[in-house]
Amino acid sequence: MTPTPLRPPSVTEAGGGAAEATPRARAWPGLFDSPATVERVWTDFVAELPEPAQRTALRRALAFARARHGHQTRRGSDTPYWVHLVRVAMELSRWGETSSELLQAALLHDTVEDTVTSLGEIRVGFGPEVADLVDWLTAPDRQEDIPAYYERLQSHAPLRAQLLKLADRVDNLRSIQALVLRTGDAHRAWAGTYLGRTVWQVLPLAARAPSVARVSLVTAMADLAPLVDRGDGAER
């Protein structure tokens, strides 16, 4: 039986605050939607933004990210990596976070960590505010440095960086849910490990977040939990 696509709660359903998500943002692609659908929703969303400069900036950021990530795909699938980047940006917009710098950073957040891109390139090409957000989202290479990274993220990161991390984790959890539903036992233990670390690494970031973001994270965790084997560690 085909699983029912996960529909993230709207701002109203989640008890969101004053920030209003756009209609396009609320038409967020579902869990099993194709890259073509994700691209169409994103293209329509950008086209409806009121400021020409923001439309241009977001198109530039996605083009740069797609070029740098190249043929990378999401774990266990042939889904192009850029789909994750767009979904993170769309999740932020659904939460009412539509600043140009934050959405650019969402599209670029893995370029330094996962490609040959340097932080200096991001700073020169997209400005210091975008670069600072990408820097906060760039986890260290050594596993022994991961706990300290999350402690800094919880204690010292600006709210927008924490929101970006939350949106990133929400989409990762949803993607892992789809992966486990599709592949069964092949990824169940790893998914449980990832979920376990989400509890202590990322859930504390939700304390300062708007309620719609908290609901999105907890819902994604709850949707994944029945499908996984519980572990005591995970990759970032």
Residues with a known catalytic role: 113-114
3-state class (DSSP) for residue 33? coil
3-state class (DSSP) for residue 80? strand
For residue 227 the two structure tokens come to 């499908």
Q: What DSSP designation does 48 have?
A: T
Beta partners for 83?
A: none
User: How far out from the chain centre does Cα 222 lie?
Assistant: 17
Residue with tokens 């400021």: 51
Neighbours of 181 (CB within 10 A): 14
Burial class for 230, CB neighbours closer than 10 Å (0-12, 13-18, 19+): exposed
CA 214 – CA 188 distance, rounded (Å): 24
